[in-house]
């Protein structure tokens, strides 16, 4: 057994039967490829923490004196910008035989954009700095879009079912360690968290993305010849694969969502899973309104998020390989329960911002929802990888993410409007969304090998 084999076997619970079904060349490269995937994904998740649109960039904008209107654009541009263009870009991506090259290109784009942000933080301020950073973030999101489209396909080509979720989980665990470290540093710095420190954090993020590109470029990816794909697989994706002869990408996207029932069900359920991704900012806002910022400051919430990823990443990765469908379903259901419980506690109890009870209520609620979101995210990513093969997987990933970009904007706008009447109403709306996700998930087919 090689050192790569030994390390891989320690990190991942292997499935010999699934590995035996792989082509010989893919099976021989499995340990090395898997370690590179784990390393690249871990570095990518760490880079995300350094360029977090919900934490680091808002702090930076406050320190630079950027108008608040630009601060409000950070999360929508970061999230939707990496999802909406995917269906449009897919025709270009499927023409590239080696999807690792697409991922590396996306990682390089992100590294350059983060370097521009760091330089801007060090040299500019005010409105000018805000506009440059927002523009760089928009291009950064396009680079992330390329990585998102290609990464699932590379993982599907190089790893068997039964092990993919664990790789996603290990990367999540690594991001948790980074978040905890960053949160502790933020709490330790306190008022000393100035522009120079934030610019240095961004500079570190740029270096991490360069390392992502270097590690990922070492993956030995088998290249599928289009004519060698399984006939049934080809027929299901025929309308979306004959791109030069068929209709445009938008018409193809609508056709897929209309005619592929299994895929449409997945996109619908994924939309309801926003309960766990959109609720954490509202929990933070509710904590601030309750007078808790001094006790549960931003560093505390970052640490809670890191602990959730650290504890949940490894466990949820294995559960995703067993049944990614039920991991998503149970995660959304439990997140809804936590939100309802939090609303009841805030409504029934007279919370004092300086009390220990306030600390327990808000940080515990934030921790639980974030941990459940970790499970939902790992389950969702594993499900879409397992439900298709070849170029059809690429199309599924791209179309579902483009659809989610639209759904995210709509649901985000609705929840924000409801929050105008009170944060608790926004949390109850998202909880109801999660319940609908649990109900609608019964239509999903089982695609996991361990199911």
Per-residue pLDDT, 169: 75
Confidence of residue 233 (pLDDT cuts 50, 70, 90): very low
* pLDDT tens digits, one per residue of 111-127: 999 999 999 999 988 88
pLDDT value at residue 135: 93
The rounded distance, in Å, linking the Cα atoms of 188 and 294 is: 14
User: Is a pLDDT exceeding 50 seen at residue 10?
Assistant: yes
Q: Is the pLDDT of residue 295 over 50?
A: no
pLDDT at 230 over 50: no
d(CA 126, CA 274): 33
Domains (range + CATH), the chain = 24-220+247-443 (1.20.1250.20)
Q: Write the CB contacts of 122 (distance below 8 Å, at least 6 apart in sequence).
A: 195, 196, 199
Q: Higher confidence at residue 143 or residue 263? A: 143
Mean pLDDT over each residue of the chain, to the nearest integer: 79
Res. 337: pLDDT tops 70? yes
Confidence of residue 131 (pLDDT cuts 50, 70, 90): very high
The predicted pLDDT at position 242 comes to 46
Q: Residue 246: pLDDT band by 50, 70, 90 thresholds? A: very low
Tens of pLDDT, residue by residue over 71-105, are: 657 777 887 778 777 777 777 877 888 888 899 99
Lowest mean pLDDT among 38-47, 245-254, 436-445: 245-254
Which pLDDT does position 443 carry in this prediction? 79
Answer whether residue 23 shows pLDDT above 70: yes
Q: What is the pLDDT of residue 314?
A: 66
Percent of the chain with pLDDT over 90: 14
Structure tokens at 426: 């926004």
- Alpha carbon separation from 442 to 215, 262, 274, 376, 445 (Å, rounded): 39, 11, 17, 16, 8
Judged against a pLDDT cut of 70, whether residue 357 lies above it is answered with yes
Report the Cα 307 to chain-centroid distance in Å: 17
Other Cβ atoms closer than 10 A to 174: 22
28-31 long-range CB contacts below 8 Å, 24 or more apart? 29/158, 29/220, 30/158, 30/159, 30/160, 31/2, 31/4, 31/5, 31/7
**Which range has the top average pLDDT, 1-5, 266-270, 354-358?**
266-270
**Is residue 39's pLDDT more than 70?**
yes
Q: What is the pLDDT of residues 372-418, one digit of tens each?
A: 988 888 888 888 877 777 667 777 877 887 788 788 878 877 887 88
| Span 16-41, average pLDDT | 79
Best mean pLDDT range from 73-77, 141-145, 187-191: 141-145
Give the span between the Cα atoms of 311 and 386, in whole angstroms.
24
Provide the pLDDT for residue 30: 79
Answer whether residue 294 shows pLDDT above 50.
Answer: no
Average pLDDT over residues 357-376: 84
pLDDT of 249 higher than 80: no
What span, in angstroms and rounded, lies between the C-alpha atoms of 167 and 321?
10
Query: Does residue 9 carry a pLDDT above 80?
Result: no
Distance separating the N- and C-terminal Cα atoms of the chain: 30
Q: Measured between alpha carbons, how far is 234 from 239 in angstroms, rounded to an integer? A: 9
Average pLDDT, integer, range 169-187: 75
In angstroms, rounded to a whole number, what is the distance separating the alpha carbons of residues 368 and 344? 16
């Amino acid at each position: 057994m090689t050192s790569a084999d030994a390390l891989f076997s320690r990190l991942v619970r292997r499935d010999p039967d699934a590995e035996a079904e792989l082509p010989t060349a893919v099976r021989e490269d499995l340990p090395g490829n898997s370690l590179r995937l784990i390393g690249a994904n871990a570095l990518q998740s760490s880079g995300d923490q350094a360029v977090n649109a919900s934490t680091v960039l808002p702090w930076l904008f406050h320190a630079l004196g950027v108008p608040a209107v630009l601060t409000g654009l950070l999360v929508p541009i970061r999230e939707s910008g990496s999802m909406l263009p995917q269906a449009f870009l897919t025709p270009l991506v499927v023409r590239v035989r080696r999807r690792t090259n697409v991922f590396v290109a996306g990682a390089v784009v992100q590294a350059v954009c983060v370097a521009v942000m760091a330089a801007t933080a060090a040299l500019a301020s005010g409105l000018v700095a805000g506009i440059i950073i927002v523009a760089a973030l928009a291009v950064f999101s396009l680079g992330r879009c390329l990585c998102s489209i290609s990464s699932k396909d590379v993982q599907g080509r190089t790893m068997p079912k039964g092990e993919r979720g664990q790789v996603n989980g290990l990367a999540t665990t690594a991001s948790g360690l980074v978040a905890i470290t960053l949160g502790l540093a933020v709490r330790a710095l306190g008022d000393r968290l100035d522009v120079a420190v934030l610019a240095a954090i961004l500079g570190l993020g740029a270096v991490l993305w360069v390392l992502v590109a270097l590690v990922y470029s070492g993956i030995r990816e088998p290249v599928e010849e289009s004519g060698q794909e399984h006939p049934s697989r080809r027929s299901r994706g025929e309308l979306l694969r004959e791109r030069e002869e068929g209709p445009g990408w938008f018409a193809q996207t609508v056709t897929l969502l209309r005619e592929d029932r299994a895929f449409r069900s997945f996109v619908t359920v994924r939309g309801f899973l926003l309960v766990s991704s959109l609720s954490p900012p509202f929990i933070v806002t509710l904590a601030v309104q309750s007078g808790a910022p001094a006790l549960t400051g931003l560093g505390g919430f970052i640490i809670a998020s890191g602990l959730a990823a650290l504890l949940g990443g490894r466990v949820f990765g294995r559960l995703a390989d067993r049944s990614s469908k039920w991991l998503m379903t149970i995660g959304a259901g439990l997140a809804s329960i936590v939100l309802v419980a939090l609303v009841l506690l805030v409504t029934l109890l007279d919370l004092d911002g300086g009390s220990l009870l306030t600390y327990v209520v808000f940080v515990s609620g934030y921790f639980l929802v974030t941990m459940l979101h970790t499970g939902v995210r790992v389950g969702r990513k594993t499900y879409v990888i397992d439900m298709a093969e070849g170029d059809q997987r690429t199309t599924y990933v791209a179309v579902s993410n483009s659809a989610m970009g639209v759904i995210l904007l709509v649901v985000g706008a609705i929840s924000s409007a409801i929050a105008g009447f009170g944060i608790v109403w926004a949390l109850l709306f998202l909880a109801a969304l999660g319940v609908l996700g649990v109900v609608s998930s019964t239509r999903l087919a089982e695609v996991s090998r361990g199911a």
